[in-house]
Amino acid sequence: MKVVLCSFLLEILLVAVVGQVARGQGMAGSSMHLASPGGAQSKTNSQPSRITIKDFSFGPTSTTVPTGTKVTWVNKDEEPHKVVSVDEIFKSTALDTDGEFSFVFSKPGTYKYFCSVHPRMVGTVVVEDSKPNGSMK
């Protein structure tokens, strides 16, 4: 059987861009709020990072970013997916095709996440300590 799979971008689900100040700070599932772009929690000039959801996997599966980076996931599948932190630090709503979800990582650490709709889909964001001027203490 010839299987042809490809993706079409027909529907856009607008998803609130979610920011969260710090790991473990008042995140209880629904207490998400809108981030102010370039707001107070962006301590560095780090480039935003994008993770593509395609063929039921996160690409790249593991990504390393400096503290303060805004990471955005975008769903390029025809199947809805979710981005959910294993430690319940962040959680998207269902992302339809082209749906996006963002989170600002303001504390160093290793953040494991998965798609709670398709739990075989797992990924990791490693947030490294970084100083705005590159100075080390």
Partner 1 sequence: MDRKKIITENLNQDGVDRRGFLECMAWAGTGAYFVLSGGVLKSFALSGGMPREQMPKGELAFVQISDSHIGFNKEANPDVVGTLRQAIAKVNALPTRPAFALHTGDLSQLSKPDQFDTLEQALKELRTEKIFYVPGEHDVLDDDGKAYRERFAKDSIGDGWYSFDSGGAHFIGLVNVMNLKAGGLGSLGSEQLAWLEKDVQHLKSSTPIVVFAHIPLWSVYPDWGWGTSDSEQALGFLKRFGSVTVLNGHIHQTMKKVEGNVTFHTAMSTAFPQPAPGMGPSPGPMKVPAEKLRSMLGITDVNFIPGRHTLGIIDSSLEDGSM
Q: Which residues bind partner 1 (CB under 8 A)?
A: 1, 3-6, 8, 10-11, 55-57, 77-80, 82, 86, 93-94, 96-97, 112-114, 116-120, 122
What is the nearest approach in angstroms of partner 1 to the Cβ of residue 11? 7
The residue with tokens 């473990």 is 24
Q: Which is nearer to partner 1, 3 or 136 (CB)?
A: 3
Comparing C-alpha atoms, which of 99, 123, 120 is closest to residue 112?
Answer: 123
Nearer of residues 11 and 128 to partner 1, judged by Cβ: 11
CB of 133 to partner 1, least distance (A): 37
CB of residue 6 vs partner 1: minimum separation in angstroms? 7
∠ CA(26), CA(28), CA(33), 5° rounding?
70
Q: Which residues contact 121 (CB under 8 A, 6 or more apart)?
A: 53, 56, 57, 58, 81, 114, 115
Q: What is the side-by-side strand order in the sheet with 84-85?
A: 62-66, 122-128, 109-114, 84-85
3 or 28: CB nearest partner 1: 3
Residue with Cβ nearer partner 1 (43 or 112): 112
Q: C-beta of 78: minimal distance to partner 1 in Å?
A: 5
